[in-house]
C-alpha cells in the first residue's frame, strides 16, 4: 500500500466503509422500486387485456349492436366474396404487439 499512497489501513478502510454504506442504501431504494415497477406493469397489462377482450366481445356480440350496424356487418364482404370473419383477441394481439 505504500507504493500507491496511504500506508495506514484505517484511512483506507474509512473510504471503503463509506462506499459500502452508500451501496447498501442504493440497494434499499432500488430493489423495492424494481418490485413495485413490475407489479404496476403487470396490473397495467391486465387492464389492457381486459379492455381488449371487452372490445372484441362488444364487436362480436350482436346484442350490443344497433339494427343498422347488424345489417352492415352481415353484408360486408371481402374482394373474394367471402364473408368477413369474426374478430378474436389473438388476431388483434398480433396486429398491435
How far apart (Å, rounded) are the C-alpha atoms in residues 93 and 33? 29
Say whether pLDDT at 54 is over 70: yes
How far apart (Å, rounded) are the C-alpha atoms in residues 90 and 79? 23
Q: Tell whether pTM > 0.85.
A: no
How far apart (Å, rounded) are the C-alpha atoms in residues 46 and 58? 18
The pLDDT of residue 91 is 58
Closest CA to 90 of 53, 51, 50: 53
Query: Percentage of the chain with pLDDT > 70?
Result: 58
Amino acid at each position: 500500500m505504500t507504493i500507491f499512497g496511504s500506508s495506514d489501513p484505517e484511512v483506507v478502510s474509512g473510504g471503503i466503509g463509506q462506499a459500502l454504506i452508500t451501496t447498501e442504501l442504493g440497494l434499499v431504494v432500488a430493489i423495492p422500486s424494481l418490485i413495485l415497477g413490475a407489479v404496476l406493469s403487470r396490473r397495467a397489462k391486465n387492464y389492457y387485456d381486459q379492455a381488449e377482450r371487452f372490445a372484441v366481445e362488444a364487436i362480436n356480440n350482436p346484442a350490443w349492436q344497433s339494427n343498422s350496424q347488424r345489417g352492415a356487418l352481415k353484408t360486408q364482404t371481402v374482394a373474394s366474396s367471402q364473408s368477413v370473419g369474426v374478430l378474436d383477441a389473438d388476431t388483434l394481439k398480433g396486429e398491435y404487439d
